[in-house]
Amino acid sequence: MRAAIYSTYGPPEVIEIKDVEQPSIKEDDRVLIRVHSASVNALDYLYRKGYLPTRLDNGLIKPKNSILGIDVAGRVEAVGKNVHRFKIGDHVFGSCFGSHSEYVSSREIFLSHKPKNITFEEAAAIPCAGQTALQALRDVAQVKKGQKVLIYGASGGVGHFAVQLAQSFGAEVTAVCSTSNLDWVKELGAHYVLDYTKENFADNGKKYDVILDAVGKRTFFSCIRSLTENGVYITEHLFYPKYHPVQLMISSFIGGKKAKIHFAKPNNSDLDFLCSLVEEEKLRPVIEKCFPLEQIVEAHQHIENGRTKGKIVLKIKE
């Protein structure tokens, strides 16, 4: 099968398309998927670049796992004997490592049936970003109706899901993005929009119960004045800015305000929930651009510039 391989850490150009052995389902709880589409996430380029924390997981000198990709949408080709939710021919989406390839093996608990009203490309855009936004708002912040939520980086992969989810939970949503995306983000459900190129929300005197930094461009310290007495600042970007571990410790000594770092925990129940929202047309994934697998270098270059509107997706199978 064809797969996007990187055998050394470095810039996007280290990725090559090669023929490799097709995976098998050795474990009884696994599902073999013929990949139709897979998204490109920030985690992919962090691993490809070889940031130190990722090297601790994937090899200090060279990558142990040479195929990137954590989101997948495709068709079930084979199932292990302990798989009960899926059968051959089912259309699925979910989380697994190595999805930038023609076939991938995933555990059943990380998959759900693809929403019936969207394409494979749209389904592939959901798992990582959608679950990150959902768990940050619902589980970490425990957003309630009437609370004020600010999403920083509202037009990005996690951000555009967070705007829609916060609105569906009944929160008053303020979205922060660039000038060109203001109208689009408001269409997603934001009640208020702020242009970060023209104003700093931290200087306007308004208070928010939750501030979700979806792009890792703010710090707890820079947001603390904008949090309510028991407000929560959340980010998934542990490695940038560099002060997050310090912020976690300090936040425990300054009253009710808290800094939280959240990483998505893939699971089928959250995928089922997101699927139901999509089928009820309460949530929609937005794709800025689809690249064929052969243009994965260009896809990495695009997402690394930090200006993505929604998601970037690879089309593996036409």
Q: pLDDT tens for residues 211-220?
A: 999 988 888 8
The model's confidence at residue 51, banded by pLDDT at 50, 70 and 90, is confident
The model's confidence at residue 148, banded by pLDDT at 50, 70 and 90, is very high
Please state the domain extents for the chain: 2-126+285-315, 129-261
Structure confidence at residue 5 (pLDDT)? 95
**CA separation for the pair 133, 263 (Å, rounded):** 10
Q: Among 39-48, 118-127, 279-288, which is the least confidently predicted range?
A: 39-48
**CA separation for the pair 268, 101 (Å, rounded):** 22
CB atoms within 10 A of CB 262: 18
Cα dist. 156→59, 61, 97, 185 in Å?
29, 32, 22, 10
Question: Is 50 exceeded by the pLDDT of residue 165?
Answer: yes
Query: Which CATH code is given to the segment(s) 129-261?
Result: 3.40.50.720
Cα dist. 4→16, 42, 206, 221 in Å?
5, 16, 46, 39
Residues 259/244, Cβ–Cβ less than 8 Å: yes
**CA separation for the pair 139, 135 (Å, rounded):** 5
Residue length of the chain? 318
Nearest to 35 by CA among 83, 81, 94: 94
Mean pLDDT value across residues 133-147:
96
Question: Is 70 exceeded by the pLDDT of residue 237?
Answer: no
Structure confidence at residue 289 (pLDDT)? 95
Structure confidence at residue 241 (pLDDT)? 47
**CA separation for the pair 276, 282 (Å, rounded):** 9
Residues 8/282, Cβ–Cβ less than 8 Å: no
The model's confidence at residue 250, banded by pLDDT at 50, 70 and 90, is low
Same fold, 2-126+285-315 and 129-261: no
**CA separation for the pair 153, 122 (Å, rounded):** 20
Residue at 104: amino acid letter: V
Overall pTM surpassing 0.75 (yes/no): yes
Share of the chain above pLDDT 70, in %: 94
Q: Please, what is the average pLDDT of the chain?
A: 91
**CA separation for the pair 114, 306 (Å, rounded):** 28
Domain 2-126+285-315 CATH (choose: 3.40.50.300, 3.90.180.10, 3.10.580.10, 3.40.50.1970): 3.90.180.10
Q: Is 153 left (phi over 0), alpha (psi -120 to 50) or beta?
A: left
Q: Among 35-39, 176-180, 220-224, 300-304, which is the least confidently predicted range?
A: 220-224
Residues 31/46, Cβ–Cβ less than 8 Å: no
The model's confidence at residue 238, banded by pLDDT at 50, 70 and 90, is low
**CA separation for the pair 98, 193 (Å, rounded):** 37
